[in-house]
Amino acid sequence: MNLLSSLLKRVTTPRDSRSELRRLYLDLMQRILINTIYEDPQTITREYKPKTRELGLDWPSVAHSMIGRHRMNNLRTLCEDVITRRIPGDYIETGVWRGGACILMRAVLKAHGVTDRCIWVADSFQGLPPPSADKYPADATDTLYRNPQLAISLEEVKANFDKYDLLDNQVRFLQGWFKDTLPCAPIEQLAILRLDGDMYESTMDGLKALYHKLSPGGYVIVDDYHLDNCRAAITDFRATHNIADTIIEIDGSGVYWKKSP
Q: What is the pLDDT of residues 70-80, one digit of tens each?
A: 999 999 999 99
- Nearest-CA neighbor of 220 among 69, 82, 64, 55? 82
Number of domains in the chain: 1
Q: Is residue 70 part of a domain?
A: no
Task: Let me know if residue 35 belongs to a domain.
Answer: no
| Residues 71, 61: Cα–Cα separation, whole Å | 19
Cβ 124 vs Cβ 176: under 8 Å: yes
In-domain check, residue 111? yes
Q: How confident is the model at residue 143 (pLDDT cuts 50, 70, 90)?
A: very high
Residue 17 lies inside a defined structural domain of this protein: no
Rounded CA separation 217/101 (Å): 21
DSSP state of 99: S
Is 34 domain-assigned? no
Give the structural domain span for 164. Answer: 77-258
Per-residue pLDDT of 31-73, as tens digits, reads 999 999 999 999 988 999 999 999 999 999 999 999 999 999 9
pTM of the prediction? 0.93
189, part of any domain: yes
Give domain status of residue 221, yes or no: yes
Please, which pLDDT band fits residue 14 given cuts at 50, 70 and 90?
A: low
AA identity, residue 228: D
Any idea what the CATH number is for the domain that residue 207 is in?
A: 3.40.50.150
Looking at residue 130, what is its pLDDT? 95
Q: Which of 3, 60, 4, 52 has its CA nearest to residue 35?
A: 60
How many residues can be counted in the chain?
261
- Per cent of the chain over pLDDT 70 is 94
For residues 233 and 207, is the Cβ–Cβ distance under 8 A? yes
- With 0-12 / 13-18 / 19 or more C-beta atoms within 10 angstroms meaning exposed / middle / buried, residue 4 is exposed
Asked if residue 66 lies in contact with residue 149, where contact means CB atoms within 8 angstroms, the answer is no
Classify residue 168: in a domain, yes or no.
yes
pLDDT digits (tens, 9 = 90+) for 85-111: 999 999 999 999 999 999 999 999 999
